Chains A and B, each alone.
Chain A
Amino acid sequence: MTDLAMVARVRAGDADAYRVLVERHSRTLFRLAYRMTGNEHDAEDVVQESFLRAYRQLGRFDERASFGTWLYRIAVNCSLDLVRARKRRGEITASADPEMDDPLSTAAAPDPAPDRMAMSGEVRERLSGAMNELSASERTAFVLRHFEGMRIEEVGRVLGCQPGAAKHSVFRAVQKLRRALEPLGSAR
């Protein structure tokens, strides 16, 4: 059965039909939420919260649209709420602070081969650290453009901002990520 057929059944009062939608979309939503929040626990919270919100807002869902896309949008908003709340509380994970690394030790190291770079734990640390340092809008715009393959204009629609603003968020995100790897010699 298609998503839309299931939505129609939920609207007709069959709450169990919602289970099918939850089971169908949970894992994809988790991947999105993880990339947006960078944290498994938060991602699980986002998934649950998104399905609860979606259920309550189902009356507003336009059946000409795709349920998956609509759900995505809700999950993006849930993730944004969480990321913003966390930034406000000033929570930063240990790996999120590049100042913690000794810049001299990394600069002195010989340039490893690209293949080894891809495997290196330090690259991973730096990249996920840099991801965590992106602002909420940079991170969201980047995740939607890069991982979800949305066009920038679409990213703007999902985030409720102008395409120009979405574009600059993507630019800033990519620039920050690239610069985070520069000291490792991969960005030359």
Chain B
Amino acid sequence: MTHLSEETLILHYYGEENDTPAPEGTLAVERHLEECGECRALYGSLVRTLNMVDALPVPERGEDYGARVWERIEPGLPARRRWLGFTLPPLRWAAAGVALAGLLVAAFFAGRFYPGTRPTPAITAKAPDAQGPERILLVAVGDYLERSQMVLVELANTTAKGPVDISAEQERAGDLVAETRLYRQTAAHTGDTRIDSVLEELERVLVDIKNQPSRMTPRALEELRQRLEAEGIIFKIRVLGANVRSRETTAAERAGSKL
């Protein structure tokens, strides 16, 4: 007698054995299980395991969780920024206010929000006056980092059998290159080499994406994915972004406590 494979039994558990080219349909599996103690034991152990997986606890979030999530993300939504008087797209805004931006970016790019540098409480205690603009700028930098991360993540997660049109991602990468250069200049002014080196890496990747043919072969995509993984660039941006966000929250709380 040919026994049922563990794979077939797993499909049987999920009621999917008929959707796959398995030789056994539901009835055949059930009949075999009735007759064969060995397969029945294996199936029983599968069912017990999966029942226990169901019993694994998941921490619950309270009724107000959605409201808390909203509070945290609301300042980061683009339309909110318009409401804060931030009507120009980031790039044009940056070009128009580059001198001001330089000063403000310098104020917080000075090695404060990268891991391993000075902790923030000392700065919080000082409570500088430029809270509003500082927060808007933090939101802009956070947004820029998130958009960069998104382009890279989307490309890294793309798998395909044939060529893929990446022209939309390239357009976004092109915009981000210009922004990266602006932020790099500022970081260089403040002498923050760690931030500058992350941004430099990011700029290189973005430029390469921009310069790819707009229809990328699966192989080129795979190479890009491996490169992103090897350099860990997505993670570095994520860490930088998380630190900007926590600075932003601090700035928002300060602004709130002042009102």
Contacts and interface: CB of A to CB of B under 8 A. Distances in A.
Contacts of B7: 167, 171
Nearest to B146: A52
B80 interface: yes
Interface stretch (B58-66, B104-112, B115-123, B194-202): B58-66
Nearest to A53: B150
Interface in A126-145: 127-128, 131, 145
Report the interface size class on chain A: 35 or more
Given A19-B70, A27-B65, A178 B49 contact: yes
B27 interface: no
Interface in B44-89: 45-46, 48-53, 55-61, 65-67, 69-70, 72-74, 76-80, 83
Interface stretch (B90-98, B178-186, B209-217, B229-237): B229-237
Interface stretch (B125-133, B151-159, B250-258): B151-159
B70 A186 contact: no
Interface in A8-31: 13, 15, 18-19, 22-27, 30-31
B100 to A, nearest CB: 26
A177 B157 contact: no
A81 B60 CA distance: 23
B171 interface: no
B234 A170 contact: no
B165 interface: no
A26 B76 contact: no
B66 A188 contact: no
A2 interface: no
Report the interface size class on chain B: 35 or more
A174 B49 contact: yes
Contacts, number: 131
Contact of B10 (A26, A53, A85, A171): A171
A110 interface: no
A118 B76 contact: no
Nearest to A186: B48
A152 interface: yes
B235 A88 contact: yes
A188 B61 contact: no
B20 interface: yes
A38 to B, nearest CB: 10
A31 B41 CA distance: 32
B208 interface: no
A181 interface: yes
A15 B45 contact: no
A56 B150 contact: yes
Interface of B: 6-7, 10-11, 14, 16, 19-20, 41, 45-46, 48-53, 55-61, 65-67, 69-70, 72-74, 76-80, 83, 146-147, 150, 153, 157-159, 229, 232, 234-235, 238, 242
Given A146-B14, A174-B49, A181-B48, 19 more contacts: A13-B79, A15-B77, A18-B77, A26-B61, A30-B61, A40-B59, A51-B69, A55-B73, A56-B78, A81-B234, A84-B229, A88-B232, A88-B235, A124-B57, A127-B52, A174-B46, A175-B6, A186-B52, A188-B41
| 5 A-B pairs with least C-beta separation | A23-B66, A26-B66, A15-B79, A187-B45, A85-B235
13 contacts: A15-B83, A23-B69, A26-B69, A27-B61, A48-B73, A52-B73, A124-B55, A124-B57, A131-B53, A177-B49, A178-B49, A186-B52, A188-B41
